Structure 1
Amino acid sequence: MQVICGRRGDRMNKKSYRVRKLKAIFFLALAVVLTNAVVSYNNTVKLIHKQQEVTYSYKVITQVESIQSILKDTETAQRNYLITADADDLQIYLAAAQQTNSNIQILSKLTADNHHKQQLISLLKPEITKRLNILQQEISLRQNQGLKAVRQLMLSDKDQQIGKEIQQLIHDSLKTEHNLLQQGMQQSQASSQKAIVTFFIAAVVDLVLVVLLYELLWRYIRQLQQTEVALRQSENRLRAMIDAEPECIKLIARDGTLLEINAEGLAMMEVESADVLIGKPIDAVIVPEYKAAFANLHESICQGNKGTLEFEIIGFQGTRRYMETHGVPLRNESDGTFIHLAVTRDITQQKQAQQKIREQGLLLDVSTDAILVRNIHNQILFWNKGAERLHGWKAEEVVGKNVLQLLYKEISPQLEDAYLRVMNTGEWRGELHQLTREGKVIIVESRWTLIRDDDGQPKSILSVNTEITQQKQLEAQLLRSQRLESMGTLAGGIVHDLNNILSPILMAVQLLQKKLPDQQSQQILQTLENNVKRGANLLKQVLSFARGIEGKQTIVQIQPLMAEIEQIIAQTFPESIICQIDIPKNLWYVRGDTTQLHQVLINLVVNARDAMPNGGILRIAAENLVIGEHSAQINVDAKAGSYIAIVVTDTGMGMSSSVQQRIFEPFFTTKEVGKGTGLGLSTALGIIKNHGGFVNVYSQVGRGTQFTAYFPASTFRDTHSLSPELESVTGDG
């Protein structure tokens, strides 16, 4: 398209060059003619100016001569009046004096724009005024004192001197003006001759230029006639080349109608002839929701701007296509406005591919697994929504970062082995410990797949991670339960044998107490009996753990039990331990053995006391809780249903993860020798399980421990089997 436009532009440039050349010659000729006219005009103006200067000099000379003549008449009339005292002479004098002043005023106005002549007037006017004043004084003296009084003044040298000075000034000014008049006449004659010669030369030059311009016009017309055929052939070739373009090319008028379209455009719009489209609105095939955007683009381009738009069309045969148009403004040389040149291409396949990619991306985001892609330098390239949910970071926060520094505390041998395995074999599968944004360690089942480029070189690694933290915890709980069950079976057999051993010993001790009444023997036998009974009680606890506790179960209310526990804590626990009990009044009931439940609570609070040797806060709380199917996965023994959760929390020393895994094992204890048997928590766990419940433990070293015992809540129908005493208690509450 650029080549075609370039060739067409060359032809237009050549034609434009010839036009510009002709215009240049025409304007050059016009400039010469105008120059000649200007020169002639300037010469004429100079001639008129010189003539005006001559006329001006004539006027000045006339006024000066008039002043000179009238001044003489004034002096003559004044002398006659002084001698004869004739009134007619006086009237002649007064008229001449008035005329002299009037001529001086006219001369002043005439020379107002001439500084040099104004200087002459400034010298002449005071002298004439002084002379007229002297003449008036003489007339006044004659009228008052007679001829004798004024005769001496008339014959004085001063009077004659003033008259001579005035005459000399007038003579000098007349001489100067006559010289200027002579020069002006000579210059006017020279300007007149120059103007005639210039006009003649300009006329000759103009005639030559007209002949030359006519010749050039004739040649240009012949060239136009010769190139017209070649131009039509070139236009046909240009049309063929444009029609061969694989993109739609359109010319759109300012009113939105189509001016031109190539063959590819006709194919896109599914018509055979351009006559169907030329002159019609171009937006006829545009899908309605895109018409406003296309109209805005068209308006912007017709104002001289470029623009791009993606839109949809429906061809005349019903085919829907995605189009991308690039609009360029073309200036109309006649009026300076713009029309719309649109180069449009079909991007339907590209849009479909993009849609497919978006759908695939949505599928990846819908996946609950964390899917990420990193390059061979471990920089994150892709991070789906599942990864955001699992690890907590948004995609924009992690893309480009090192995955090893982000998700792992340290580079373990397992990670190094996984990287080498995936680079060598193309895939790896295993379990990894990773970090979340909050610093929590999670366990994931990770599948790595190596992605190669077109040349077969390693490009990136696709990782799919599934969190199995809860699954691993449940597996650990199951293994622990199985281990405890095995140990219970073993302990049951051992307890049975030990009971068989202790029973004859206790019977023998009791017989010896009857046969040996002395105090020393009684003390020894009592000590022996106490130890045998203590051993029997210990074996009873072990047997209870091993076989499960069986007892009479009734509907039990938790509040009275909590009251007893609170009383025991207040009486026996050190004052450094602060006890906080939070039991709601609407707490549900539990079906169980009151004594056994009491034993569970005592074991939990005693352990909490022993964990706070330096004092702390012991908090006991209970709440109604409904566990759904999803929440039942928190523990291997949990089932969906209604529960009462009893929470015992301390602020003591806490436990490590390794200790937490063994606390329910029989005889396991972290206490000093003689301060614990290791059967308290194992017995409590047996009681809780026998009641259909389960227990969760959360502990951090140095921050305390929390035991949560879950007991199935009694149904509404069970509450009718309450004993009268219990019913009265609940009623009072």
Structure 2
Amino acid sequence: HAGARAIREGGQYTATYRLVRPGGEIRIVHETARIFLHEKTGVPLRMVGTTHDITEKRKAEETLRESESRFRELAENISEVFWIRDTREGVLLYVSPSYEKIWGKSCETLYRSQQSWMDSIHPEDFGRVRAAAIWVAGGHYDEIYRIIRPDGATRWIHDRAYPVHDEHGEIHQLVGTAEDITERKNLEQQILRAQRMDSIGTLAAGIAHDLNNVLAPILMSIEMLRPRLADIRSREIIELIGSSARRGTDMVSRVLSFARGLEGTRAPVAIDRLFDDVARIVAETFPRHIRLVTELGPCLHAPEGDMTQLHQVILNLCVNARDAMPGGGIIRLRAQNVTLDGNASPENPPGSTGPHVHIRVEDTGCGMPADLMEKIFEPFFTTKEAGKGTGLGLSSVAAIVKGHGGFVTV
């Protein structure tokens, strides 16, 4: 049709078409021709043109399109960020869609300004990464760093780059991958904590044995002093000391049992007695401007448990409440029977069922930011100053309560 139209109207035409050779082979050709017409009659006089065999070129183009299609399919479906940078022009040629998922920013913002990549890097890692980036043009780049997403979340990134050389052996591009390794980092931290806890357990067993030797003469002295005390107040104080010392020996016994892999003795626990013991210690040891109030529901169940461990749980929570009220305030201990229906909720995360005793510890302190709430049960996490907290109090509370078949909510 292109040729017929050119013959009718004159002028130039181009066409690409397939032809079949005598042997049946199909070739693709590109033809360009010009038609010359008679000046007076307009009759076609001659045609001058060229025909080029472009079969191999078409095959190469098709192969390239397939290669690009496979590349995009791979780059756009992997979890890592794949990127290509022109080192001569200093421009970003390509970044895969995973960038939006990991960085929380659109790819378009990165194409507009490569500085947005650097702007996301955590301030503590920024200087190191910027220094390493100087060597990127030489193809030497392998860094692990943190980024801060627009939503405030922190992610760990493993970023690597590899040089691409041209026909003269010079680097003209860098291709790289940026992998989100946050989960791996979290797992490494958990392993380190487990190793640290294992070491602490071994150390605690030795300390517990020595502490037993320290408590023994205290208990013996109390028995010797008791008959010599005439006034009631002195006897109350000596009884408190004796009670605390005996509780200390029970706790030491628990540490030794834990180190040996033994379970503690469990029996029905009277919640009112538990509260009375804690209230007595609070009254004698806490500042006078902190007041403890207890509220007990009717006919409380007596759950099976380790009295010493549960005493430790309540006392730990009261100590935390005390520390949250440096100016004084009220701590409330409440207990009541509840029957859980098995439906998971904020008040019943694991979806427990059946009769339970609900113990609530409240204070009138300053409270806690929401971003810290998720971390408070992690071992060694503390908001207190160095030397004023180990970060093991609440993690111990959660472990003991879970070991008794319960759960803790904040």
TM over 0.5, yes or no?
Answer: yes
Structure 2: distance between partners of 1:647 and 1:359: 59
Question: Is 1:469 aligned to residue 178 of structure 2?
Answer: no
Corresponding residue for residue 533 of structure 1: 243
The structure with the largest helix share of the pair is: 1
Corresponding residue for residue 349 of structure 2: 623
- Give the secondary-structure state (helix, strand or coil) at the position aligned to 2:105: coil
Structure 2: distance between partners of 1:672 and 1:359: 55
Corresponding residue for residue 161 of structure 2: 448
- Give the secondary-structure state (helix, strand or coil) at the position aligned to 2:3: strand
Alignment of 1:506-525 (within 5 A): 506-514=219-227, 516=228, 518-519=230-231
Corresponding residue for residue 67 of structure 2: 356
- Residues 327 and 342 in structure 1, CA contact (< 8 A), matched pair in contact too: yes
CA distance change for structure 1 residues 326 and 670 in 2, over 3 Å: closer, same or farther?
Answer: farther
The alpha carbon displacement at 1:383 in A equals: 0.7
Instruction: Note the alpha carbon deviations across 1:29-79, whole angstroms, 9 max, x for none.
Output: xxxxxxxxxxxxxxxxxxxxxxxxxxxxxxxxxxxxxxxxxxxxxxxxxxx
AA aligned to 1:372 is W
Corresponding residue for residue 178 of structure 1: none
- Residues 161 and 177 in structure 2, CA contact (< 8 A), matched pair in contact too: yes
Structure 1: distance between partners of 2:25 and 2:320: 81
Corresponding residue for residue 20 of structure 2: 270
- Residues 380 and 401 in structure 1, CA contact (< 8 A), matched pair in contact too: no
CA distance change for structure 1 residues 506 and 458 in 2, over 3 Å: closer, same or farther?
Answer: same
- Residues 393 and 437 in structure 1, CA contact (< 8 A), matched pair in contact too: yes
- Give the secondary-structure state (helix, strand or coil) at the position aligned to 1:366: coil
Give the gaps of 5 or more residues in structure 1. Answer: 1-248, 255-260, 273-315, 336-340, 555-560, 576-590, 627-645, 696-706, 710-733
Instruction: Note the alpha carbon deviations across 1:172-231, whole angstroms, 9 max, x for none.
Output: xxxxxxxxxxxxxxxxxxxxxxxxxxxxxxxxxxxxxxxxxxxxxxxxxxxxxxxxxxxx
Structure 2: distance between partners of 1:512 and 1:652: 44
The alpha carbon displacement at 1:493 in A equals: 2.2
Corresponding residue for residue 652 of structure 1: 367
Structure 2: distance between partners of 1:464 and 1:647: 50
The alpha carbon displacement at 1:363 in A equals: 1.2
Structure 2: distance between partners of 1:671 and 1:492: 27
Give the gaps of 5 or more residues in structure 2. Answer: 7-12, 44-48, 284-289, 292-302, 333-344, 353-358
CA distance change for structure 1 residues 348 and 535 in 2, over 3 Å: closer, same or farther?
Answer: same
1:401 aligns with one of 113, 116, 125: 113
Corresponding residue for residue 251 of structure 1: 3
Corresponding residue for residue 94 of structure 2: 382
Corresponding residue for residue 412 of structure 1: 126
Corresponding residue for residue 338 of structure 2: none
Structure 1: distance between partners of 2:219 and 2:191: 40
RMSD over aligned Cα, in angstroms?
5.7
CA distance change for structure 1 residues 330 and 385 in 2, over 3 Å: closer, same or farther?
Answer: farther
The alpha carbon displacement at 1:685 in A equals: 4.3
Question: Is 1:428 aligned to residue 141 of structure 2?
Answer: yes
The alpha carbon displacement at 1:434 in A equals: 2.0
> TM-score scaled by structure 1?
0.36
The alpha carbon displacement at 1:270 in A equals: 0.9
Alignment of 1:473-492 (within 5 A): 473-492=186-205
Structure 1: distance between partners of 2:194 and 2:126: 31
CA distance change for structure 1 residues 365 and 656 in 2, over 3 Å: closer, same or farther?
Answer: closer
Instruction: Note the alpha carbon deviations across 1:148-181, whole angstroms, 9 max, x for none.
Output: xxxxxxxxxxxxxxxxxxxxxxxxxxxxxxxxxx
AA aligned to 2:349 is E
- Residues 118 and 126 in structure 2, CA contact (< 8 A), matched pair in contact too: no
- Give the secondary-structure state (helix, strand or coil) at the position aligned to 2:349: strand
> How many corresponding residue pairs?
337
Structure 2: distance between partners of 1:513 and 1:401: 80
- Residues 370 and 387 in structure 1, CA contact (< 8 A), matched pair in contact too: yes
CA distance change for structure 1 residues 373 and 606 in 2, over 3 Å: closer, same or farther?
Answer: farther
Percent identity, please.
24
Corresponding residue for residue 75 of structure 1: none
Alignment of 1:329-344 (within 5 A): none
- Residues 229 and 235 in structure 2, CA contact (< 8 A), matched pair in contact too: no
The alpha carbon displacement at 1:485 in A equals: 2.8
CA distance change for structure 1 residues 526 and 409 in 2, over 3 Å: closer, same or farther?
Answer: closer
Instruction: Note the alpha carbon deviations across 1:227-281, whole angstroms, 9 max, x for none.
Output: xxxxxxxxxxxxxxxxxxxxxx961459xxxxxx99x979x41145xxxxxxxxx
Corresponding residue for residue 192 of structure 1: none
CA distance change for structure 1 residues 689 and 517 in 2, over 3 Å: closer, same or farther?
Answer: closer
- Residues 429 and 448 in structure 1, CA contact (< 8 A), matched pair in contact too: yes
The alpha carbon displacement at 1:478 in A equals: 2.3
Instruction: Note the alpha carbon deviations across 1:111-158, whole angstroms, 9 max, x for none.
Output: xxxxxxxxxxxxxxxxxxxxxxxxxxxxxxxxxxxxxxxxxxxxxxxx
